[in-house]
Each structure stands twice: as structure tokens, then as C-alpha cells.
Chain A
Amino acid sequence: MKVLVTGATSLLARRTAEALLARGDDVVCLQRHPAPLETAQVLGDIRDADLVAGAAQGCDAIIHAAAKVGVIGAWEDYRSINVDGTAAVIAAARRHGVSRVVHVSTPSVAHSGHAIVGAGADEPVTGRVGAWYAESKAIAEQQAIAAAGDELAVVAIRPHLVWGPGDTQLVGRIVERARAGRLALVGHGAALIDTTYIDCASSALVAALDAAVPGARCVGRAYVVANGEPRPIRELIIGICNAAGVDVTPREVPRRVALFAGGAIERLWRLRRATTEPPLTRFLAEQLGTAHWFDPRPARDDLQWEPTVSVDEGLRRLAVWFRAQAELPGP
């Protein structure tokens, strides 16, 4: 099978491309900058419809992971990259008769601010102001799902909190803050949070690719994938810090305070048009302070997928990686 992977500079897309290569698939990548992958690479902007179409030519399937992530920046950037970029991928698939598209989405498209306790993949919510990432991804997912039909099998996959060796988003930030002594928990850190070890997230995308044949049950549906091992967020954070060799006792910030502070910081950042990452947003405070875990059965049943690396095994691998990093000559 020949597969186009977009956004392959991200950890998840890169690992997925590697997994596809390892099992003998033919892989083409599309992203702005060269990725450390031994595949054909098309460099450019996901919003360039002709470029995307050119890359998709001759492919059997597309894994669309290219996206703008973050909490700062202009709506127009999020919209054009995440919404128009997805439209370009769908159009390219249509033009060249690509029959399978795996759209990489995010559980935050359905984020309501309430605890999620064993829920499925709820409908995307739109109309948010400020949380441009979630808003643009929600519109993009709706668009991708709407494109599913008899000719084109589209599946949306929402990996929840991907982490692992080399991950700069979650692991990187936690360890950085812990080292700086700035790590705080919202509330007592008891909220149960499910996460996805990187190898599980990539295997889920591969499983979705295999399951996405026209007429299959998963076509036109969204799935949350995660390890299915929710843990109190406090345990996860301490586990990650321990893996990094950082001994930490996080401070506890009452949830109301965190929500208020997150909102205030967000407004301040917007007023100042700041270009640095804010330390806390209301969205983040909600995410950290409330449970987020999902029903594993839909993904298991419809995608024939099960996580292969447990949270504990993942933490062990992370510790090995951190030790190896420490032994590397410094920059």
C-alpha cells in the first residue's frame, strides 16, 4: 500500500510513517521541513492544494496529521492550516481516487469543560472563542467526516494526550517545569486522565488505515484512542518526572483559582499579542483539573486495535530514553 503522511515532522506522524515502512508499505511524506525519515518527501505548505494533490497521486491512502497546534496565534492561521489544509487533503484524495483517509483529530474538539468519565467520541463542538486550535480542529473533523462516502473511506482518530520518548509537547513541558520548580497541580491531582503512549497512538493510526475500507463500520466516524489506563494526573506527572530523574513534589493550586488564573492569563496574552506560550490557560486548567477518560470499546471493536505498550512499560522506556539522552554529549 502506498501511503501519504502529512505533517511528518510531528512525533506521531513520524512514528506512524516508520511503522508503515517497517511493515513494507510505500510511504510519501509531506511537510514544510525535511523530516528525519527515509522516505520520499514533498516539502511545502498543506494549504497548497496543488502540492497536496501532486503528493497524493498514486497513493492508496492518506494519513492527515499536519496541523497547527498551540494556544497562541491568530485565528486565521489556525483556520487556514487546519480547516483549509484538511479540505486540500480531501480534494486531493477525490482527485486521484485515494480510497482511504485517516484524519488525525483531537479529543479537545468535543471539549466542554466538564469531566469526561468513560465517554465515547462525542460530537465536535464549534463556536468557541479563543481556543482556536480546538475550534479549527472541530470544523476540520466535521468536514472530513462529511466527506466520507462509498468511494472515500474517512475515519477520524482522536489520540488523547500522546507521550513518550522524544515528545516535546507533554513530557518536555512537564519535565521543564519540574526542573524549574514551577510544576503545579490543579486541585489535588486526583482527576483520572487517560493518556496514549506514542507507540500505541501510531499503531492506532495504522489500524485505522487498515480498517478504513468503504462500507466498513468505522467509515464516517470519529474514535478516541488512548491506552485505556486512566490514572490520577498526579501519578502520571510524578511518573514522568521520575522517569526523567527529577524528584518532584508538585504544588497544589485550588481548581477555582487555576480556572480564574487561566482565564486572566489568556486575556492578558491576547491583549499584549504575546508570542510566547502562556503558562496557563483556562482550557488547560480545565483539562488538568477534571477527569478525561474514554470508553475503549468503540476503537477496539471497530478498528480491531488494542494498545500494545502499557503506561508502566511506557514509563520504563521513557526512563531508559532520558538516561540515554543524559549520556549524549551536550549541545
Chain B
Amino acid sequence: MVSGQGRSGWVPQRPSAAQFQRWGVDPGWSQLVTVPGSDGVARTWHVLDRTPPAPVATIVCVHGNPTWSYHWRSFHERLGDRYRVIAVDQLGMGFSERTERRRFADRVTDLGDVLRALQVEGPVITAAYDWGGPISLGWALAAGDQLAGVVLCNTGVAVPAGRRAPALIRLAAAGPMTDLVGHRTRIFVDGTLMLSGQRVAPVAREGYRAPYRHARDRHAIAEFVADVPFTPKHPSAAAIEAVAEGLRSLRVPTLLAWGARDPVFNDDFALDLGERVPHADRHRYAGMGHLVVEETDVAGLVDAWLAERVIPHRAPAPDPVVPVVPAAPPVWAALDARRADTATAFVDGATGTSTSFVDLHNRVLGIAGGLAQLGVQPGDRVGVLVPPSVDLLATVYACWRAGAVTVIADRGLGLRGLGAAVRAADVSWVIGPPKAIAAARLLRWAPGATAIAVGARSVLGAACTLDQLAASGAPAPTPPGPDDPAAVLYTSGATGPAKGVRYRHAQMSAQRDVLAQTYGITSTDRLVAAFAPFALYGPALGIASTIPDVDVAAPGTLTAAALGAAVGSVEATIVFASPAALANVNRTAHGPQPQLANLRLVLSAGAPVPIATLRATAALCPSAELHTPYGMTECLPVADIDLAGIDTAGDGDGVCVGAPVPGVAVMIAPLGFDADRVVVGVADALVGPVLAGEVLVRAPWVSEGYNQLWRTEHDARPRTADGRVWHRTGDVGHLDTQGRLWIEGRSVHVIHADAGAITPVPVEVAVEGLEGISKAAAVGVGPLGCQQLVVVVEHAQRNAGLADDVLAERVRSVVKHPVAAVATVRALPVDIRHNTKIDRTAVAVWATALLAGDRARVTW
């Protein structure tokens, strides 16, 4: 009970059961414990302790400043049925006893005392954020064998090299400010809630503030801030330094779950911890902030991670059935083979300048040597901001040759997306033209990175130019091996921040080989890459390539004339273009194009290619086979089909993408299967009723994983009972009796109706077959399991809203499921890059509002 309102020695009034319930806490978890301290003084602690009958381990959660055990309630909720979850209120904080000043070392001892009093037995996993991080680590590093795992969210043990302590903390810790913001006012408490990237719900704010309503409650908040050591002479500096160094000996599984939008403990702190604990798994939440545990499902991440890394129950990790194949030659092997060839290797469509194989090869080796001399280490990440040009090719191959990892972002992401990608990838080097370097500096994409300028002159802040590197005369370093990392690719996702996809050299070599084999590519071929990143395949395949003169950010503006010029410049045999680009070529052709007459192969991918586009292209390119590979950033190609194959396949449920290419295994898994368990799917062609499921693939050229997205990678890489790892494409579809793969939409867009799942593409294909309808979206409204199917049709002449009865009737007559409503919009939302992938999620949001009777705004 409250024994006076003095500085210390009293325990705040605990919230009532009703209050706890209101804040989402089971009152049964709340306990007061009298703890005999190591210093001989007994103190009263408040803890939230949920203990199941036979816990597999104990998770000890340590909060930061100025929160309390409340911060971890999602852990109790999610994990407390199998793990004992203990969250403590540190002394002077939450509803624990108000005490005299506790310094860092005291708090580490205190934590040990309370865990002893709580009789914690068996394996322990610590979870902590903010200043709970170093405190929990102080205990963990001394815990010996009892420590089974470490989870850290937005924290720090040392100011990262090359930067100052967080400005906000420095300000708060500046002399009299500490008392003012931490103790006398609620600025620090309220400010912390605001640091959260996502809004903290009002009822949760109430919970967070509850123990800190009065100044007398808040002494410890100010003292915590004052305990941050900014100078080596600070009383706590040595103890925290010991923890920071001790971390290097940490051997248990470690997880860094990070909110990237935290102005205090930003990415640099995560990087610093990652450097101290190299084996740490990382999941970086691009949109989340300081209170990441409050903002997103960290508890779910930890649940999956513990099951995978700490308390394993999934199929064993090793993959016993990988066939032993001799490693394919490295990606630069074909370029090496033509090192004396004076034939054209690349033509710049914008300037018309051409580069021979001998020159390209020499430039690659020169830059690779220069990079090594400059200090680029194998495994270093290099942000490649070079626009499509021979410099792009030279830079990327030089990085690969030097063992560096290229970080390449698609221009379709836009400036913001580009910045987010570079920032997420922890690049140590940035290569690009002065403008890109300036942007990277100005927008703090890579504050610690060294810049290399592309162009004649160096710029402020750049270490040197690409030309200087190429001319350095330094020998190219030892090349990387097949298992070494090669690239992180960012492409525009349909929703949310782009994910970085990691590749190893062996995977890229395998991809090159399957492309050459599938399309019969030999050194006599020459490539026009109307989708610029595809030009990078030229040197790997040992063929000449060019990029047409087109705005790289808008490949859909490619004209027939520009394509013709590009084909002419290298006497191309192969064209790769996005469906949008091909459609524009067809639109602007106005009659036969002699330069396109000799093409032998036209490839189009990235999004479903409308059949009309293919037919029009076939008419323009009479000698060419038209192929549409199916695949994704993580695995390309998966399957392939040509125009004749599409005609043979005919109508069916979805879009036929052809048979899997040799080397790919395809499996159809049940919709919404649990990635934490062994997946049981159907691998062979189905006979009889065709069931749609999630499309899983395996191939030697499937990417390694994702960048700093442990959960995403975990969920995307399920295993079968034999230990094989599969890639989850995110598409739903089925295999037909001929072994062809049909895609029926994205799994997140499946409509979960009462009568079963409805895949969107077959519905859309049926509706788009109606006269006068070119584009439709099938979406679900309502809760999963009883969603209603709604068809939204693009109609340029009508306002967004319900369709009239005639159109509704026509749509219903061709859809085999009950259609609750038919609506029209002037234009459906599509992705910028391909102009064909419909953002069904946005359509569903709009349709939901419309059909609820609310005001529905078209947001695209």
C-alpha cells in the first residue's frame, strides 16, 4: 500500500481488475512480489506473469523508459499458453516500488534478484527494447546455460561508429532538461507514445500513462535518462561498455525485430548490434517506429522464430535432396570468354555509342580492381544508382567480380521507394551519377556509405569517380565463389514497401543457364532490353544488348519507331519488353515495321500479357516466336508458354502460363496452409476435379531469401516432410491434366465465401469475355469465411458506383458463383510498371465502402 508520498519506499496503487481488463490485460497476470535484494534490502516488484501448466521455456520481458510491463501484453496473450511469460516493472517504474536512484549496474542485479524470487527455471529467452535492452543483456550474458535466446527490439548498447547519440536523448539528458521533461512534466511519457510510427490506440495510451500520472511517480524516468552515459567518465559507462563488448561472445539464437522509423534507435543501432552478433536474425519493419511491439505483431514473429530457432518443431532445416551438381560457371564467364572479341557488346540507345566486348571486359576488370583497392570487401553491399547505360553493366559486373553485393532497385519504385530500398539494405558504398549521390546524401539513404561518382568529374562527398577506379591499374581481386552473396534486388510490389530479394552467385548462374536453355540463346543472338534491368543478362549470356531510347521510369511509352531503331542498332534477334511496352509499340506501329521482321524471339513478362497484345505483336514480328515466361523476382522463370500454346490451352479457370520449365518443380498446396508446419501439397498433374491452391516452386535459381525480413522469409519458405524447401509464390492456381500451370490470382485476393474459396482471375476472365468490357476486378467484401463476391468493371463513360441492371445481369450470367453486386469505375487501379496488375485490395476497400452505404472515394 501507499506508505506516504515520499521520494521512495512506497508502492503505487495497483490498477483494478476492471482497469486491467479495459487495457487488454488479464488481471490474473498481475502480481506483487517481495524480492530480497542482493544488497540486503527487500523491495516490492510488480510483474505480469502468465504461467501455463508445463511451460517449454520462460520469456523474460524487460521494458524501457518510460513504459512498463504493459508493453509486453501481446507476448502474454500470444505465447503465454506454452511459455511462461514474465514482464517486470523495473524498480521505480510501472507499479513497482518507488526507490532511490538505480544505476545501470543496479538494474542488472535487480533483474537477477526478481527472477530468482520468481523461481524461474529451465531455459530462458530474454526480450527487451529501449534501455531494457542493455539491462536484459547484462543479465543474459551472466546467465550461462540457462539462456536459450535473445530478442531485441529498438535498443542500443553503444553509440554506433560514425554517429552521435540520438539527438532527442541528448536533449532530454542535458542538465536541467532531464528533470523538466522526465520528472516534472509528462513530456517524456507522452513523447514516447508519439515516437510510435503507428498511432497507439487511445485505450493503450491510457494504459501506458497510468503509472506516471504524478510527478512523484516519475523520479525514475528522469534518472533513467540521466543514466545514459555520454562520456566515458559517466558512472554507468564502464558497465554498459562491458555489455557491449560481451555481446561479441553471445552464441545463443538472437532476433533483432526493428521498427525502422524510430528517430532514437534507428537502423544504425540495428547495424551495430548486427555487427556484434553476426548470427542474429533480423526482421526490419519499414513502416513501424520506436514502440514496435505495440505497433505490429512482434509477438507472432517471436512465436514463429522461437519454434524455428530456439524450440524447434518444424521439419529439419538441412535439405538432404539437393542433387550434387557441378557449380555452373560464374555470371561473368561468358564475358570472360569474349574478352578479345571486338564485336559490339552494348549500344546505348540514348547516345548511340557502342562498346565492344573487349572494352566492356577491360572496364569490368579495371573497376573491380579499383573497388578492391578503394577498400571494398567481399560481401560489402553496394547501392547501384547508375541509370541504364554501359556504366550500369560495367558497375554491376565489376561489383560481382570483386565479391561485392549489388543492391539494385527498380526505377518503377519511384524516388521514395528507391530511398527506402537503399536504406533497408545497409549499403556501405553508393555508386551513381552526382545527382543520385546528392539525393542519397540529402535524404540520408545511406549516411555511412562511401560514394563513387559516375561521370567525368568527382563531386563533393564522393571518394572518387568510376573512371578513376577503372584507370587505377589495380589487379582484379580473387573472385567470389558460387555460395557467396551476389545481389539484393528490389522490385515494385503490389502493396506495401518493396522487399529486398537476396541472391547468391550460384543462383544467378543457374538462372542464366535456364534462360539460355529455355530460349535456345547462343552467342549469335543479340538482345533489346526494353525493360532496362534485363540488359544485365546480356554480358551473362555473352550476347550484345541495347536499351531503347525510352524513359526508364515509364517503359510503357516505348514506341514502334524507338524499338525499331534499337533492334537495328544491334541487329537484334531477341526483344524483351513489358506487356505495357508491347501494347504501346502495337499502338504506334501504323503498318509493318521492316526492322522487326527478322526478330526470332519476343519475350514479355512481369504481368499477365493480354492475348490481343500478343496477337498484334505477332503480326508486327512475323518471324518471331512470342513467349511469356511466368515468374517473379524470387524465381524467374517458373513456366513458359508461347502464343500457340495459349491457343492450344484454350479457355479454363484462370490464365494458362504453360508447363514448368525444366528444372522447376511446382506444387499446389492447400489455400492458407500453415507455414510453421510441414506442407502437404499436390505435385503432379491433377486428374479429376481441379482444385486451386497456393503455387509453390523449387528450382536452383530460386533466390536465397529476403533482406532483413525474417518473418517474411520464414512464411515464404515452407518445407515438405522430406526437408525440401519451397518458395511460396503468393499466387493461387492449379495444374491441369497436361501438367500446365494455370494462375487464378494472388492468394491475398482470394474471396473467402461461405460456400468456399473463389479465385478472382477465372471470374475476371469470364467477365472480360463480354462484349465491350476490357477490364474487371473480382473482389470480396465482408469478413473472411462469409465474403460476398463483387465484380467491379472498368467503364470509361460511367461514374463510379453501382452498375445498371442490364450490366449486372450480363455479368451474373457469365459468372458461376453468386455475385452480390456489380459496380463500375472509370479506371481500375493498376501498377505503374506494367499497367496490368490490378490492385484488387484497393478495389475491395472502395467496394466495401460503397456497398456498406458509406461514401466511397476512388483513391487511385
> Interface residues, chain A, CB within 8 Å of chain B?
115, 117-119, 186-192, 228-232, 234-235, 238, 255, 289-291, 293, 295-297, 300
Contacts and interface: CB of A to CB of B under 8 A. Distances in A.
B787 A229 contact: no
A231 B805 CA distance: 12
B782 A232 contact: no
B786 A297 contact: yes
11 contacts: A115-B853, A117-B782, A190-B823, A190-B850, A190-B856, A229-B820, A231-B821, A234-B802, A289-B853, A296-B786, A300-B754
Contacts of B808: 235
B802 A190 contact: yes
Contacts of B785: 295, 297
B818 interface: yes
Contacts of B781: 117, 192
Nearest to A289: B853
B838 interface: no
Contacts of A187: 853
Given A192-B788, A230-B788, A230-B820, 4 more contacts: A117-B852, A187-B853, A231-B821, A293-B782
Contacts of A235: 802, 805, 808, 821
Interface string B847-860: 01011111010000
Contact of A192 (B754, B783, B818, B851): B851
Interface in B168-202: none
A238 B821 contact: no
Interface in B764-792: 781-783, 785-788
A273 B787 CA distance: 44
B818 A229 contact: yes
Contacts of A228: 754
A279 B850 CA distance: 26
B417 interface: no
A232 B786 contact: no
B805 A290 contact: no
Contacts of A117: 781-783, 848, 852
Given A189-B802, A190-B850, A296 B820 contact: no
A191 B853 contact: yes
A191 B850 CA distance: 7
Contacts of A296: 754, 786
A188 B788 contact: no
A189 B781 CA distance: 17
A255 B788 contact: no
B253 interface: no
- Sorted nearest first, the 5 A-B pairs with minimum C-beta distance are A191-B853, A118-B782, A115-B852, A290-B853, A118-B783
Interface in B801-830: 801-802, 805, 808, 818, 820-821, 823
Interface in B588-626: none
A192 B802 contact: no
A296 B851 CA distance: 18
Nearest to B823: A190
Contacts of B754: 228, 295-297, 300
B852 A188 contact: no
A191 B851 contact: yes
A17 to B, nearest CB: 30
Contacts of B856: 190
A232 B801 CA distance: 11
Contacts of A118: 782-783, 786-788
A70 B787 CA distance: 32
A130 B802 CA distance: 34
A115 B786 contact: no
Contacts of B801: 188, 190
Select the residue from A119, A232, A234, A295 with max chain B CB neighbours within 10 A. Answer: A232
Interface in B337-384: none
B698 to A, nearest CB: 37
A293 B848 CA distance: 13
Nearest to A296: B754
Contacts of A119: 783
A189 B851 CA distance: 9
A91 to B, nearest CB: 37
B820 A190 contact: no
Contacts of A191: 851-853
B565 to A, nearest CB: 50
B787 A238 contact: no
Given A229-B820, A230-B788, A232-B821, A291 B805 contact: no
B820 A231 contact: yes
B44 to A, nearest CB: 41
Nearest to B808: A235
A232 B818 contact: no
Contacts of A231: 820-821
Contact of B788 (A186, A190, A293): A293
Nearest to A300: B754
B853 A190 contact: yes
B770 to A, nearest CB: 19
Contact of B852 (A186, A192, A234, A295): A192
B783 A190 contact: no
B852 A290 contact: yes
B800 to A, nearest CB: 10
Nearest to A186: B853
B853 A291 contact: yes
A190 to B, nearest CB: 5
Nearest to A229: B818
Nearest to A115: B852
A161 to B, nearest CB: 15
Contacts of B786: 118, 295-297
A165 B855 CA distance: 34
Contacts of A293: 782, 788
Given A232-B802, A232-B851, A235-B808, A192 B787 contact: no
A243 B663 CA distance: 60
A114 to B, nearest CB: 9
A91 B52 CA distance: 46
Nearest to A242: B805
Contacts of B848: 117
A192 B820 contact: yes
A156 B848 CA distance: 30
A291 B783 CA distance: 13
Contacts of B823: 190
Nearest to A255: B853
Contacts of A255: 853
A314 B215 CA distance: 69
A186 B855 CA distance: 12
Contacts of A291: 851-853
Interface in B639-659: none
Interface string B434-470: 0000000000000000000000000000000000000
A256 to B, nearest CB: 10
B109 to A, nearest CB: 51
- For B785, B820, B852, B856, the residue with the greatest tally of chain A CB atoms inside 10 Å of its CB is B852
Contacts of A297: 754, 785-786
A300 B755 CA distance: 11
A296 B788 CA distance: 11
A124 B801 CA distance: 33
Given A192-B852, A235-B805, A295 B783 contact: yes
Nearest to A288: B853
A231 B853 CA distance: 12
A187 B823 CA distance: 15
B818 to A, nearest CB: 6
A229 B818 CA distance: 8
A33 B854 CA distance: 44
Interface centre among B785, B850, B853 (most CB of A within 10 A): B853
A192 B821 CA distance: 8
A202 to B, nearest CB: 22
Interface string B732-764: 000000000000000000000010000000000
Q: Which of A187, A230, A238 has the most chain B CB atoms inside 10 A of its CB?
A: A230
A43 to B, nearest CB: 42
A318 to B, nearest CB: 16
A218 to B, nearest CB: 18
